[in-house]
Structure 1
Amino acid sequence: MLAKLADELPAGAYLYEPKWDGFRAIVFRGQDDVYLQSRDSRPLDRYFPELHDALLKRLPRNCVVDGEIVIATERGLDFDALQLRLHPAASRVQKLAKETPSSFIAFDILAVGARDLMNAPQAERRAALEKLLGDVKPPVYLTPITRDRDVAVDWLTRFEGAGLDGVIAKPESGAYLPGKRAMIKIKHARTAECVVAGFRYHKSGKDAVGSLLLGLYDDSGTLQHVGVTSSFTMAMRRKLVEELAPLRKNAMDDHPWREWAGAAAESSRMPGSQSRWSAGKDLSWEPLRIERVCEVKYDHMQGNRFRHAAIFLRWRPDKQPRDCRYDQLEVTTPYELERIFSSGSSGS
């Protein structure tokens, strides 16, 4: 079951939960084994061997549980550490499992024993989940919930420092609907003014821009690649090709990222780098002279980069590229993950 994005938390008969920033997973606990599956039905067991054993030990037999795989550190949730687990070498996975062990946070139940709960109301499923996992021990957790909208609004602010992605609102009377956006998610939203240092062509061809490459200056005056913005209509994509054309002339001569042009994709800091999520996509990029500034909306930072693609808002011709610095960004206070599980965990 999926969620649709909203600008604010809905009021009414909802269960509110923290939105965890990890890998969505469904756990099938049978009589003698456990199977861990991703949202797109891919097996995850081999990437999280320590979690496989913990789930086998801590979950009751014959149940199907929906939740999130996360890696918690002293700085909060670490999505980069999760991505590193998707490695073909079992020895590497085993090493990382010891160094950065994962956890599973349960937030819904689809079946228990011989009973199919998918058509049961959300409130009934939550009660069954609490009964099943009320005394569960780490690294398996039961997500907190609240029925109090004011508490959920407070979570939206307080929990961000732990790396949480926002808040989810689930209708109390709603059934579990696979593939349907039957939940509501509210994410953090902020704006930033960024340098437009390059672009990638759209997959349709070189008559349209796919995304703009964004940069911010750090304290040493180095322009760092912080992410992309790609929320354009097709008409806008074609217009951008013409609009940006003058900025391509001699763009590489003094470009701060010139050493990355044509380089092997070894670093995630490179604008053209491949990742385990890019699935062989053409990520080559076209440099632009460092002259343009745009304002974007983003949800939160992961390290020094935007966690997700930013949303283009407008050009800022009144801003100089050198003024686009990290110090414009709001800094969130770290929050201990352990304290989250004591906040409204029984549906207060």
Structure 2
Amino acid sequence: MLLTAIAPMTAEAAGEPFDDEAFLFEPKWDGGRLLLHKQGERCEIYTRSGRIVTEKLPELREALADLPVRSVLLDGEGIVLRGGRPVFDDWAYRLRISQAAKIRTARQTHPVVFAAFDVLCTDRPHLEEPLTQRKARLGELLQRGGGILTPTVSVEAQGRRLYELTAAQELEGIVAKRKTSLYIPGRRSSDWIKIKHPRLIDTVILGCRSEPFELVVGLQFRTVKNKPVGRVSKGLTVEDRDRFLQAARELRVRQEGGVQWIEPRLCCRISYRDRSEMHQLEDTEFLAFLWDKQPEECVWPYT
């Protein structure tokens, strides 16, 4: 198990928070899933997809090496804080850079911390222990983590309250985990449930698909203009479709890849609950057309 790529256990998605004595509730951090491996003198850091990123994150490697155990495998989230809040784009920057000089600078400007939420192995596997037992073991292991390796906070039963608190702090959401849950690598389990906060964003409409009807939306980035970032169909009514087709009649450019592309002149507001490292928005919902907004104002928020 140690020093090999392992697909982590993942959570099913839900729309609404809940209270339940059978669950622990944790904040959902806006960063990247990491698995930290230590065996003897060797330390390696793997991403969720199995990519080794040890050299990109030397502060985590050093903190892991300093743990007073010979063997350990930790599961958690790598995050970069700005103003006390995780910022995904700052985390993505750390994974992009590979030059040693830039990494040394980034340790100061974009320092990474590891919010640990599980321990899978020490001198023996712990996958078949209940979550509460693994959590207790994790807390003991990271007493000397130096703040860089930190157990994530969890609360019992009060999912709705934590959901409210994470919304006020502009965090990504919460994760509910059944106290008795075992750890099954590579499994999306109903014992773990993620509930994300919807985020609002104004987008430029780049085109549409017809069956089913959906809008293709984009955003302005520092280096790319009118970049497609997702599709939206939920929330669109028949009246919305007809209004859009009427407004877009004179803006058609080409039909390609099943999309009727149009000139980027129309805007709309949507919500989303997830996005990829390449800024592709997921779990989207249409909210309103923005007839008076200019496309150049539909910018990805670098905050």
* Fold shared per TM-score above 0.5: yes
Looking at structure 2, the residues matched to 101 and 109 of structure 1 have their Cα atoms a distance apart, in angstroms, of: 23
Looking at structure 1, the residues matched to 46 and 214 of structure 2 have their Cα atoms a distance apart, in angstroms, of: 32
Q: 1:212 aligns with which of 216, 225, 230?
A: 216
Tell me the secondary structure at the aligned position of residue 133 of structure 1: helix
Does the 8 Å contact 2:274/2:282 carry over to 1?
Answer: no
| Cross-structure match for 1:31 | 40
Aligned 1:102-181 pairs, distance under 5 A:
102-113=112-123, 115-149=124-158, 152-181=159-188
Does the 8 Å contact 2:216/2:232 carry over to 1?
Answer: no
Q: 1:101 aligns with which of 111, 116, 121?
A: 111
Deviation at 1:28, TM superposition (A): 0.7
Change (3 A) 1:55 1:320: closer
| Cross-structure match for 1:322 | 292
* CA displacement, residues 27-64 of structure 1 (integer Å, 9 cap, x when unaligned): 11111121111111110112111221122113632111
| Cross-structure match for 1:184 | 193
Looking at structure 2, the residues matched to 12 and 286 of structure 1 have their Cα atoms a distance apart, in angstroms, of: 50
Tell me the secondary structure at the aligned position of residue 322 of structure 1: coil
Question: What amino acid does structure 1 have at the position aligned with 2:206?
Answer: G
Does the 8 Å contact 2:272/2:285 carry over to 1?
Answer: no
| Cross-structure match for 2:27 | 18
Does the 8 Å contact 1:77/1:163 carry over to 2?
Answer: no
Deviation at 1:171, TM superposition (A): 0.9
Change (3 A) 1:209 1:90: farther
TM-score under structure 2 length normalisation:
0.73
Tell me the secondary structure at the aligned position of residue 129 of structure 2: coil
Does the 8 Å contact 2:21/2:157 carry over to 1?
Answer: no
Tell me the secondary structure at the aligned position of residue 40 of structure 1: coil
Looking at structure 2, the residues matched to 131 and 47 of structure 1 have their Cα atoms a distance apart, in angstroms, of: 27
Question: What amino acid does structure 2 have at the position aligned with 1:212?
Answer: V
| Cross-structure match for 2:284 | 311
| Cross-structure match for 2:271 | 297
Change (3 A) 1:285 1:125: farther
Tell me the secondary structure at the aligned position of residue 156 of structure 2: coil
Deviation at 1:187, TM superposition (A): 0.9
Question: What amino acid does structure 2 have at the position aligned with 1:13?
Answer: A
More strand by share: 2
Change (3 A) 1:292 1:132: closer
Question: What amino acid does structure 1 have at the position aligned with 2:173?
Answer: G
Does the 8 Å contact 2:217/2:232 carry over to 1?
Answer: no
Change (3 A) 1:190 1:91: closer
Looking at structure 2, the residues matched to 89 and 173 of structure 1 have their Cα atoms a distance apart, in angstroms, of: 44
Aligned length in residues: 266
- Confirm or deny that 1:46 pairs with 2:55: yes
Deviation at 1:297, TM superposition (A): 2.6
Question: What amino acid does structure 1 have at the position aligned with 2:148?
Answer: P
Question: What amino acid does structure 2 have at the position aligned with 1:108?
Answer: D
Question: What amino acid does structure 1 have at the position aligned with 2:10?
Answer: L
* CA displacement, residues 211-239 of structure 1 (integer Å, 9 cap, x when unaligned): 622569xxxxxxx9797442559xxxxxx
- Confirm or deny that 1:230 pairs with 2:231: yes
Change (3 A) 1:307 1:78: farther
Does the 8 Å contact 1:229/1:296 carry over to 2?
Answer: no
Looking at structure 2, the residues matched to 68 and 190 of structure 1 have their Cα atoms a distance apart, in angstroms, of: 21
| Cross-structure match for 2:14 | 6
Looking at structure 2, the residues matched to 288 and 198 of structure 1 have their Cα atoms a distance apart, in angstroms, of: 7
Question: What amino acid does structure 1 have at the position aligned with 2:285?
Answer: F
Tell me the secondary structure at the aligned position of residue 180 of structure 2: coil
Aligned 1:260-299 pairs, distance under 5 A:
286-288=261-263, 290-291=265-266, 293=268, 296-299=270-273
Does the 8 Å contact 1:200/1:210 carry over to 2?
Answer: yes
Question: What amino acid does structure 1 have at the position aligned with 2:157?
Answer: D
Looking at structure 1, the residues matched to 293 and 110 of structure 2 have their Cα atoms a distance apart, in angstroms, of: 37
Does the 8 Å contact 1:248/1:289 carry over to 2?
Answer: no
Does the 8 Å contact 2:39/2:71 carry over to 1?
Answer: yes
Change (3 A) 1:105 1:285: farther
Does the 8 Å contact 1:28/1:64 carry over to 2?
Answer: yes
- Confirm or deny that 1:87 pairs with 2:97: yes
Does the 8 Å contact 1:110/1:118 carry over to 2?
Answer: yes
Question: What amino acid does structure 1 have at the position aligned with 2:216?
Answer: L
| Cross-structure match for 1:260 | none
Tell me the secondary structure at the aligned position of residue 116 of structure 1: coil
Deviation at 1:22, TM superposition (A): 0.7
Tell me the secondary structure at the aligned position of residue 134 of structure 1: helix
Looking at structure 2, the residues matched to 251 and 75 of structure 1 have their Cα atoms a distance apart, in angstroms, of: 45
